[in-house]
Amino acid sequence: MPRSIAARCMGVIYITTAQHLISGFMYPANMFDPSPAKYNQRSSNWRLAVAIDCIKHVIPSVFKPSKPPTLSMEDKSVTIKQRLQNYPTPATTWVDYFPSTIRPYFYLVRADRPAGTLLLFYPCAWSVTMTYYARSVPIATAWTHVGFFLLASLVFRSAGCVINDMWDKNIDAAVSRTRTRPLAAGDLTRCQAFVFLILQLALGVWLFMQLNQYSTILGLSSLVLVVMYPAMKRVTNWPQAVLAMCFN
């Protein structure tokens, strides 16, 4: 930004100087007046003119930057389509080896991206292993409970992805990063996603029923935050804060 302003100032100075030199050659009496007072007045006027031109041309560009051209809805839709066409095709993952009839369900729950599942699983694994080590619980029991929480983390993270995509179907279709998601791309309908969600929630509730009453109530209450997260994108600039509470 400073370089562009300096370049513009120099350009204005050069142009203004050239204009005054030309006017001096056209009216030599004004420029080569032998009177010192006249010469000094001419020089001061020249410098003043250069300063005024700099103010007129440079200052407005700094404090009033040019606005981008406004586009109509048709122009915006064409621009979005052009960007989507130029967007690279996603790389092939292990999910692509499944039949095309069930492949969208794997992509819907982000099966190829297990980071979210691990974020849910790690705190559970730490708690189980530290507690069972302190109480000298048999290793077989510890591994059983670790596997239980791994399955629960997978189910509820998958359910959260389905809920999020059902909320944001129309928005995802207009964003290059998310346009290939099954609901946004039209590979699945909202009805199919809802049936899939019901099956996941049923399995999740059954898993929670295997715990004591306190753990069941605490776990099911976290579903409120899972449902609220997509809605927070529409009312706040900090939706990730709600997502963090879901994981914690």
The letter for the amino acid at 146 is V
Placement of tokens 């530290």 in the chain: 130
pLDDT digits (tens, 9 = 90+) for 6-63: 555 565 555 555 555 445 444 444 444 444 444 444 445 555 555 565 555 555 554 4
Q: Which of 77-99 are b and which e, b meaning 16 or more Cβ less than 10 Å from the residue's Cβ?
A: eeeeeeeeeeeeeeeeeebeeee
Task: Determine the pLDDT at residue 224.
Answer: 84
Beta-carbon contacts of residue 232 (< 8 Å; ≥ 6 apart): 238, 239, 241, 242
The count of C-alpha atoms lying within 13 angstroms of the C-alpha of 85, restricted to the half-sphere facing its C-beta, is: 6
In sequence order, the 6+-apart residues with CB closer than 8 A to the CB of 119 are 247
Nearest one of 155, 157, 164, 165 to 189, comparing CA atoms: 165
Tell the burial category of 139 from Cβ atoms under 10 Å away from its Cβ (0-12, 13-18, 19+): exposed
Q: Which residue has the tokens 């059983």?
A: 144
pLDDT of residue 190: 94
Q: What is the identity of the amino acid at 32?
A: F
Among 46, 53, 48, residue whose Cα is nearest residue 30: 46
The backbone region for 87, taken as left when phi is positive above 0, alpha when psi lies in -120 to 50, beta otherwise, is: beta
| Among the listed residues 106, 239, 232, 225, the one whose alpha carbon sits nearest the alpha carbon of residue 162 | 106
Q: What is the pTM of this model?
A: 0.60
| pLDDT value of position 82 | 59
Residues contacting 244, CB < 8 A, separation 6+: none
Task: Show the 3-state SS of 106-148.
Answer: HHHCCCCCCHHHHHHHHHHHHHHHHHHHHCCCCHHHHHHHHHH
Segments of the chain scoring below 50 in pLDDT = 1, 21-22, 24-43, 62-65, 76
pLDDT for the residue 197: 95
Q: Are 218 and 132 in contact (CB under 8 A)?
A: no
233: phi then psi, degrees, rounded to nearest 5: -65, -20
